[in-house]
Chains A and B, each alone.
Chain A
């Protein structure tokens, strides 16, 4: 196996044979299957490489890594030669050094050597090796080719003249991304690497991930030069975790004079192994956006927000909270938290609400999309969390992706599925749209929106018909099979397939492939985890896993996908109206007593709070008077057909703590300026439950402050005496009160970079939380529910509106909309419409249509013709305040809305 099998700190080592070899006379033990290069690197012997990248298959083209192997006919490429017992390797013999010099001389003969203006200078292998091997020639007849112009892509520059033809960009875009923007042109001396027909990258399906930038060993593919840019050696480097999606990618922020000027990634480090997506690599512009909030603001008598001091702003908030509490009790105050708040800030926020304000009204903005998964998994497995990690996914023989446009919503996690496709494994995609993965996967079940349950019923039924069940596993680890079996008695695969709008034979084939796989994993996205049948869908998926015994073994697992960088962390920290930190129910008296003792404040007997899904109602009814919004934009995120506006309007007092004037800030009485993630310290817990450090690369802008600090200041205003000097102190307390985090410390995170909290079931924090059994002994089959959650369309409202992610933006878009690296690619939210439907409606690409729902709300958006969207369905993303799609969505738990489209003339 190559280095692509190793994942940072966690090398997958299925009992491999040990071999002994010598490198430069030193005796070394290695595993069979490792390359000479890997073994040398692991033992501190540097071998230069140009065409090698551990993310790629060995290629052996550049000849830089040649070594001498005793007995071999000639020098061998160490990047592609496996170690053998007794091998004797010389890495820097005279002959080898000469060969390397020759390779370098050849490369330099037609290299521009415009290092003074090259973005890669200081981080260029050609420079490094020319220096190391002292290749100081001025070749005969040498004439500098011009580097040329950088191309029109907003983030990625291509200077073909600097290319050394190592092929890494070509391979990474094909092998890792499964796209293939780059290729060779011509042959021999005329060879070049470029896009087909030298088209601009934007025209060749490029997703702007920058993987090619990260792999290019020279300055041929680099980031576009930015105005505030700086040389490699002038910048400070800070390792941190991306604050967008739940993939939790490791980033290296480069700062120059207190400003983040570049985002880089390190190969072989972090969960992402050096891969990022467009947001992570080019979506940092918001940090320096001109409309960053730098001063607290208070709404004055005339209704304008005016700048104030921290003192006045906090005083005003504290007074209102105290008044509401005295008047109606703590439950008149509610806090809602965004998914990029750190664990430390989130923990303090819920502590403030529970112990100081006296209210369980503290919830995450994305609770609605997580609720079904959390509840169903709790019922089935006694565990509300993902049961596996991406290393496990790598071992799966089959992967089923339900309700997620994974390459858009989780672009780096998606690479694992893309890899599975490339390795010929079974990949099944269940999604109404022909998503990128759907078009690459072996099976695409193009289910009607809301009909996932029908397909799942058909799949489990067919697996039982074929006897593809793991009876040993079921006997040993599960209960409730009889009820489950009974619930399927009348299920007819063909009937279900018709209901779902999917070909019955395709469903059967997919079910058989999944059932026959030695190990299988399921990824479930918000497309299936929301809606009236979402809990039934999640329960059926859990059944599917139990039926096939795909739980608690390598290569198996159920991944409910989370959308924000710290969605999982918020749940773990107790940012849930019914859960304490660590997951105990607020009704659990013993847990409440323990917290009381730890906090020294009474919290027992508080009723469960109002979940985000009911926030709109609670605001409208006046039950909640003070709303404290931390890093979220409920005006764009809460669902409820026009009622959101009314609810926020009606709220007695709204506090917005954010880095920007969000849509919600229109309703705010006080605005508190918060630092962004790259100005804060703390941790995020990613979707696979890896806890990773967030580190400050620059100080907070202006008078803004980190969330945790603001929460502490507010708590102290309200009479607490908190004295956390830094987030590390908060984590120490979290480790004390939240059992899953008992082993998490910053020191450990320094050592291993990432750590999984234990699940509360066993204590090692191992990768497969269920492997030692389930809470309460056995997992429980749930009877499979009947029915589906289809949208009722009719002649007046003929289209089904679905929503979801676009790769370039995140959530409600507060940050991505302010990042030029993103908006230069995707600036506006467009309605995706099948060309056939467009023809019927007589609308053209780019024309604006009005999208109206049954309740009378409407939004307008330009049309984008899209064959991936089937007829009868339209898609709108939710990142734009110009297109507030939440006004069209029914309250949480309703099916996708039926809408009407009309041309807007003029």
Chain B
């Protein structure tokens, strides 16, 4: 399913309980930082600042180290994640076949920079390293599905089609101002 998205816990109290339990389990253990970050992210979907602080404290590490680890591994997210992730591959193969232009066009199309979420929290763009489909470079992944041999125009088409599918499906649940309508501030920094 192309519209498949990550599921989150919604019950805040339950999240808090699970997190407290997690911190307790690892308290005082050496090398607890990575499992704590993974656990925290599994509970909250991403790693908000206060979660980072509590993780660092439980692991007995400075916050700077926790943030360092969390920004080193691509598995960790420091920001809430939009429902759907569009990953532009910037690995070597994709890079030489024009990934930069593709990214640029998709950013324009959604009105956000790589690493940002659309204001409606429906889409996010990420720049990633080789996704293992060099044969069809340049590649864009939408959620778990790879789209290859793209041109900037094709990439925009694919994304637009995906948007139509999503927003059509969710019309009426109140979430869906079309992405890109959120303005283009922050585009030219």
Binding site for B on A (CB under 8 A): 170, 173-174, 179-187, 195-197, 204
Question: Which of B52, B62, B63, B64 is most buried by chain A, counting CB atoms within 10 A of its CB?
Answer: B64
Instruction: Please determine whether B62 and A197 come into contact, CB atoms closer than 8 angstroms.
Output: no
CB pair A204 B64 closer than 8 Å: yes
The residue in B52, B67, B73 that gathers the most chain A C-beta atoms within 10 A of its C-beta is: B67
Say whether B86 faces chain A, with CB atoms less than 8 Å apart.
Answer: no
- If over half of B's interface residues share one DSSP class (helix, strand or loop), that class is named, otherwise mixed; here it is helix
Q: Say yes or no: is B170 at the interface (Cβ < 8 Å to chain A).
A: no
Point out residues on B near A: beta carbons under 8 Å: 49, 52, 61-68, 71-73
Contact A184–B62 (Cβ < 8 Å): no
Task: Give the residue of A180, A184, A185, A187 whose beta carbon is less than 8 angstroms from that of B63.
Answer: A180
Bound together, the chains give a CA A263 to CA B8 distance in angstroms of: 54
Contact yes or no, A186 B64, CB < 8 A: no
Which residues of the partner chain A approach B49 to less than 8 Å between Cβ atoms? 197
Q: How far is the CA of A180 from the CA of B69 in the complex (A)?
A: 14
Inter-chain contact B63/A186, CB cutoff 8 Å: no
Q: Give which listed residue, B61, B67, B72, B73, contacts A197 with CB less than 8 A.
A: B67
Contact B61 A196 (CB under 8 A): no
Do A183 and B72 have beta carbons less than 8 Å apart? no
User: Do A196 and B64 have beta carbons less than 8 Å apart?
Assistant: yes
Using known A-B contacts A174-B62, A180-B61, A180-B62, determine if residue A186 contacts B67 with beta carbons closer than 8 Å: no
Docked-complex contact A170 and B71, CB < 8 angstroms: no
Could you give 12 example pairs across A and B, Cβ below 8 Å?
A174-B62, A174-B65, A181-B64, A183-B63, A183-B65, A184-B71, A185-B67, A185-B71, A186-B72, A187-B71, A187-B72, A195-B64
Cβ contacts under 8 Å, A185 to chain B:
67-68, 71
- A180-B62, A187-B72 are known contacts; what are 5 more A-B pairs with Cβ within 8 Å? A173-B64, A180-B61, A184-B68, A184-B72, A185-B67
The distance in angstroms between the C-alpha atoms of A170 and B69, with both chains bound, is 14
Q: How far apart sit A288 and B48, CA to CA, in the bound complex (Å)?
A: 46
Q: How far apart are the CA atoms of A173 and B68 in the complex, in Å?
A: 15
**Residues of chain B with a CB closer than 8 A to A173's CB:** 64
Residue of A179, A180, A181 most packed against chain B (CB within 10 A) = A180
Q: B127: nearest residue on chain A (CB-CB)?
A: A190
Most chain B Cβ neighbours within 10 Å, of A186, A195, A196: A196
A181 to B62, CA, bound (A): 7
| 6 nearest A-B pairs in the assembled complex, by CB-CB distance | A180-B62, A183-B64, A196-B67, A183-B68, A184-B68, A196-B63
Q: Which residues of A contact B52 (CB under 8 A)?
A: 196
Q: Say how far A415's CB is from chain B's closest CB, in angstroms.
A: 16
How far, in angstroms, from A769 to B85 measured CA to CA in the complex? 70
Q: Which B residue's beta carbon lies closest to that of A180?
A: B62
**What residues of B have a CB within 8 angstroms of the CB of A180 in the complex?**
61-65
Q: Are B66 and A196 neighbours in the complex by a CB distance under 8 Å?
A: yes
Q: How far is the CA of A180 from the CA of B64 in the complex (A)?
A: 6
What is the bound-complex CA distance between A181 and B72, given in angstroms? 17
| Assembled-state Cα–Cα distance A475/B62 (Å) | 48
Min CB distance A165 to B, Å, is: 12
Do the beta carbons of B64 and A170 come within 8 Å of each other? yes
Query: Nearest residue in A to B129 (C-beta to C-beta)?
Result: A188
B65 contacts A186, CB within 8 Å? no
Q: Which residue of chain B lies nearest to A192 when distances are taken between CB atoms in the complex?
A: B71
B71 touches A204 (CB 8 A): no
A186 to B129, CA, bound (A): 13
Give bound CA distance, A573 to B67, whole Å.
53
**Residues in A neighbouring B73, C-beta threshold 8 A:** 187
Q: How far is the CB of B63 from chain A (nearest CB, A)?
A: 5
CB distance from A192 to the nearest CB of B (A): 9
Q: Do B72 and A179 touch across chains, with their CB atoms under 8 A apart?
A: no
Q: In the complex, what residues of A have CB within 8 A of residue B66's CB? A: 196
A65 to B145, CA, bound (A): 47
Q: How far is the CB of A436 from chain B (nearest CB, A)?
A: 13
CA gap between A185 and B65 in the complex, in Å = 9
Instruction: Note all chain B residues with C-beta closer than 8 A to A179.
Output: 62
Question: What's the Cα separation between A180 and B62 when bound, in Å?
Answer: 5
**Inter-chain contacts of B64 with A (CB < 8 A):** 170, 173-174, 180-183, 195-196, 204
Give A163 Cβ to nearest chain B Cβ, in Å. 14
Roughly how many angstroms separate A568 CA and B72 CA in the complex, as a whole number?
50
Residues of B close to A187: CB separation below 8 A: 71-73
B142 → chain A closest CB, angstroms: 24
| B134 smallest CB distance to A (angstroms) | 18
Cα-based distance from A374 to B26 in the complex (angstroms): 48
Q: A496 to nearest B CB, angstroms? A: 29
Most buried by B among A179, A183, A184, A186: A183
Q: How far apart are the CA atoms of A120 and B71 in the complex, in Å?
A: 29
User: Please, which residue of chain A has its CB at the minimum distance from the CB of B49?
Assistant: A197
A440 closest partner in B (C-beta)? B60
> What A residues does B61 contact at CB under 8 A?
180
Nearest B-chain residue to A190, judged by Cβ: B71
Q: Shortest CB–CB separation between residue A796 and chain B, in angstroms?
A: 39
Chain A residue nearest to B61 (CB atoms) is A180
Instruction: Provide the residues of chain B in CB contact with A196, threshold 8 Å.
Output: 52, 63-64, 66-67
- In whole angstroms, what is the CA distance A688 to B62 when docked? 32
Complex Cα spacing A179 to B61, Å: 9
**C-alpha gap A110/B65 in the complex (Å):** 25
Task: Write out the residue numbers on chain A whose beta carbons fall within 8 Å of the beta carbon of B62.
Answer: 174, 179-181, 183
Taking CB atoms, residues of chain B closer than 8 Å to A195 are 64
- Considering the chains assembled together, what is the distance between the CA atoms of A182 and B62 in angstroms? 9
Closest Cβ neighbor of B64 among chain A residues: A183
Q: Which residue of A lies closest to B53 (CB)?
A: A196
CA–CA, A195 and B67, complex, Å: 9
Chain B nearest CB: distance from A198 CB in Å? 10
* Complex CA–CA separation, A182 to B63 (angstroms): 9
Residues of A within 8 A of B65 (CB): 174, 180, 183
Shortest C-beta distance, A578 to chain B (Å), equals 50
Chain B residues whose CB sits within 8 angstroms of the CB of A186 once the complex forms:
71-72
How far does the Cβ of B95 sit from chain A's closest Cβ, in whole Å?
Answer: 12
Give the shortest distance, in Å, between B19 (CB) and chain A (any CB).
19
B129 CB to closest chain A CB, in angstroms?
A: 8
Docked CA distance A174–B62 (Å): 8
- Distance (whole angstroms) from the CB of A206 to the closest CB of chain B: 11
Q: How far is the CB of A566 from chain B (nearest CB, A)?
A: 36
* Residues of chain B contacted by A170 (CB below 8 angstroms): 64
Identity of the chain B residue whose Cβ is nearest the Cβ of A199 in the assembled complex: B63
- State how many angstroms separate the Cβ of A175 from the closest Cβ of chain B: 11
A73 CB to nearest B CB, Å? 28
Q: How far is the CA of A197 from the CA of B66 in the complex (A)?
A: 11
Query: Given the complex of chains A and B, what is the CA–CA distance between A185 and B67 in angstroms?
Result: 7
* Bound CA–CA A181/B56 (angstroms): 13
A181: chain B residues within 8 A (beta carbon): 62, 64
Complex CA distance for A174 and B56, rounded to whole angstroms: 14
Measured in the bound complex, the distance between the Cα atoms of B68 and A196 in whole Å is 8
Docked complex Cα distance between A174 and B68 (Å): 13
A170 to B68, CA, bound (A): 11
CA distance A195 to B66 in the complex (A): 11
Query: B68 to chain A: which residues have CB within 8 Å?
Result: 183-185
**How far apart are B174's CB and chain A's nearest CB, in angstroms?**
32
Chain A, residue nearest B67 (CB): A196
Chain A's closest residue to B74 (CB) is A187
CB distance from A320 to the nearest CB of B (A): 59
- List, in ascending order, chain B residues with CB within 8 A of A182's CB: 64
- Taking each of B49, B62, B65, B71, which has the highest tally of chain A beta carbons within 10 Å of its own beta carbon? B62
Q: How far is the CA of A372 from the CA of B52 in the complex (A)?
A: 47
B63 — which chain A residues lie within 8 A by C-beta? 180, 183, 196, 204
Q: Complex formed: what's the CA distance from A187 to B67 in Å? A: 12
Tell me the minimal C-beta distance from B106 to chain A in angstroms. Answer: 19
Q: Which residues of B contact A204 (CB under 8 A)?
A: 63-64
Q: Which residue of A lies closest to B52 (CB)?
A: A196
CA distance A184 to B66 in the complex (A): 10
Please report the C-alpha to C-alpha distance between residue A98 and residue B68 in the assembled complex, in whole angstroms: 33
Closest chain B residue, CB of each to CB of A174: B62
Looking at the assembled complex, report how far the CB atom of A189 sits from the nearest CB atom of chain B, in whole angstroms: 11
CA A275 – CA B61 in complex, angstroms? 23
